Structure 1
Amino acid sequence: MSSPEHKQKIWDLIKHIKTGMLTTHHGNELRARPMVLVQDEYDGTLWFYTDLKSEKVFEVERDHDVCLSFADPDNQVYVSLTGVGKPTRNKELINKYWNSFVAAWFPEGKDSANVGMLEVKILKGEHWDSSSSAMVKSVKTMTAKIKGEQPDLGEHEKFGTKKGS
């Protein structure tokens, strides 16, 4: 697992992006769909509202391994997180994060039987932060090419452990 400082770094990278692509196993295929973060801080677990009768919930129940990817192309920030997903009907969490945006997706209200949360415990990940300007990147790329080196276009870091470690 990552340190509290690293968790804060990951949160700082994804909290403004808000929407990540959740990838699940759909039989022998992979399937991704957008999911919106609802929490105000990150401790190693990410939370999303979900319809408990949705296909993604059935997919996560069959195979708990999921991947979340976040991208902010304007600022050249990319984050890929691998973890274990689990749907839950935790009323405390549903009440804690409920807001008008979520209510629009669940017109029957937060007490509807299909309203739930998807918990994703992050095990490992990778992030790229190349937020320098296009001009700076272009100069770095040309300089590296002339020197026969690979350009340094920002920060890239892997973190985490294998499942069960």
Structure 2
Amino acid sequence: MSQSSDHPTREETIKAMAAVMKGVKFAMLTVETEDGHLQAHPMTTQQTEFDGDVWFIGGKDTQQVQSMMVRPNVNVSYSDHGGGNYVSISGVAQLVENRAKLEELWSDFYKAYFPGGIDDPSVQLIKIEAQGGEYWGSDGKLKSMLQMARAAVTGKPATDLGTNETVEF
């Protein structure tokens, strides 16, 4: 990504992505199923600093985790509707056994899914190693709505609906 007055640096894009990710409670994690269909599941966002890896806690016995074992290419998407900001990350899922990391990410919230708590045998750490990402940011809903309304009236495409940047990891 080139640095100019119109485009943020790679680091600025990653920082903007991280801010959206941190502010969104649930992400959608998309896997490829056995029959080749894409299937998305809501996952709780972990409050860790985004460094190219995204972490989740899932269940070993779920179709989602079973799919990642065989087909590890996944997508994680974050949507901040109120702020008009969106992030999409493509990456490779790894099923990790790491007690220290599990303890870092664990909260009592997960007892709803894992009655045995942190020691429940079905708890599975999921690490998504980002390969690429995309960020869409809005300067505000009102500005975007005015741009779309102007385009609808004039028949000319909207010229400024916000920021769109991609980054490779």
Fold conserved between structures, TM > 0.5: yes
Any unmatched runs of 5+ in structure 1?
none
Superposed CA RMSD in Å reads: 2.2
The one-letter code of the counterpart of 2:44 is: V
Give the one of 109, 124, 128 matched to 1:116.
124
Could you say if the C-alpha distance between residues 85 and 146 of structure 1 is closer, same or farther in structure 2, counting changes exceeding 3 Å? same
The CA deviation at 1:139 is 3.0
Instruction: State yes or no: 1:133 paired with 2:141.
Output: yes
The CA deviation at 1:142 is 4.8
Any unmatched runs of 5+ in structure 2?
1-8
| SS of aligned partner of 2:112 | helix
Structure 2 residue aligned with 1:90? 98
Structure 1 residue aligned with 2:111? 103
1:90-130 Cα distance to aligned partner (Å, 9 max, x none): 11111111111122221111112111211001111111111
- Hey, what's the Cα distance between the residues in 1 that align with 2:156 and 2:10? 36
Instruction: State yes or no: 1:58 paired with 2:63.
Output: no
The CA deviation at 1:146 is 4.3
TM-score under structure 2 length normalisation:
0.84
The one-letter code of the counterpart of 1:24 is: V
| SS of aligned partner of 2:27 | strand
The one-letter code of the counterpart of 1:22 is: L
The CA deviation at 1:82 is 0.3
Structure 2 residue aligned with 1:25? 32
The CA deviation at 1:3 is 4.7
The one-letter code of the counterpart of 2:91 is: G
TM-score under structure 1 length normalisation:
0.86
| SS of aligned partner of 1:6 | helix
| SS of aligned partner of 1:110 | helix
1:121-149 Cα distance to aligned partner (Å, 9 max, x none): 11111111114132x22333455664945
Structure 1 residue aligned with 2:6? none
Query: How many residue pairs were aligned?
Result: 160
The one-letter code of the counterpart of 2:57 is: Y
Moved more, 6-15 or 81-90: 6-15
The CA deviation at 1:35 is 0.6
- 8 Å CA contact retained: 2:30, 2:75: yes
Moved more, 103-112 or 22-31: 103-112
The percentage of counterpart residues that share the same residue type is 27
